[in-house]
Chains A and B, each alone.
Chain A
Amino acid sequence: AQSVAQPEDQVNVAEGNPLTVKCTYSVSGNPYLFWYVQYPNRGLQFLLKYITGDNLVKGSYGFEAEFNKSQTSFHLKKPSALVSDSALYFCAVRDIPAAGNKLTFGGGTRVLVKP
């Protein structure tokens, strides 16, 4: 069965500092990996995904993520955090091939960027 772990419930960072949100996964085959962000009272917004190819993936709003197969990780990063990046971040995985094509989400990490 596929699973995702986000080991930190909350990450605090000062504005302008680098931001990292950690994600590790477990699959039986090869993964498709996704990051979503959720602002208060809004649905999830897609940030980026890893399907194949270059391990460093660039996405929306200056975010990027690095796929590391040996460490089964897909950490989200931003070189310089903004106060507006404060939100709830979810990592998600699909196992390939996966029965039912189901996307499994982690428990989420709350990011608080302080001015």
Chain B
Amino acid sequence: EAGVAQSPRYKIIEKRQSVAFWCNPISGHATLYWYQQILGQGPKLLIQFQNNGVVDDSQLPKDRFSAERLKGVDSTLKIQPAKLEDSAVYLCASSLRGDSYNEQFFGPGTRLTVL
């Protein structure tokens, strides 16, 4: 079974530039998550989708971050414009459903460096 795919793996941009990350979840997984992991910290949930609807985006900085999952499969996370403090690893995860007891499966992440 293929895992969660993410691209690119690494990205270096200058502040105020835009960047987009792509995620393809495990086939059949209805729930998709985007996390931000700052160096030395645990992952922090940015947004959760159930199929193509948003379940939780309470910690997404909506003035600069946006995400979509138009067909209920793959997803894109965008930052526009980027700030220095956005430097982090962005992790995508998926689960079969959004139930509390389902474990999440994580992709390898995209390491973003903002200069």
Binding site for B on A (CB under 8 A): 4, 32, 34, 36, 41-46, 49, 51, 90, 92, 94, 96, 98, 100-103, 105-108
- B42, B55, B101: which contacts A51 (Cβ < 8 A)? B101
B40 at the interface (CB under 8 A from A): yes
Report the tally of A-B residue pairs with Cβ distances under 8 A. 58
Q: In the assembled complex, how far is the CB of residue B33 from the closest CB belonging to chain A, in whole angstroms?
A: 8
B57 and chain A: residue at smallest CB distance: A100
Set of chain B residues within 8 Å of A44, measured between Cβ atoms: 43, 91, 93, 104, 106
Q: Is the interface of B mostly helix, strand, loop or mixed?
A: loop
Q: How far is the CA of A51 from the CA of B43 in the complex (A)?
A: 21
Binding site for A on B (CB under 8 A): 4, 40-45, 48, 55-56, 58, 91, 93, 98-101, 103-109
Q: In the assembled complex, how far is the CB of residue A24 from the closest CB belonging to chain B, in whole angstroms?
A: 14
Q: A90-B42, A90-B43, A105-B43 are contacts. A34–B106 as well, Cβ < 8 Å?
A: no
**B91–A107 touching, CB < 8 Å:** no
Q: A101-B48, A105-B44 are contacts. A45–B100 as well, Cβ < 8 Å?
A: no
**A34–B42 touching, CB < 8 Å:** no
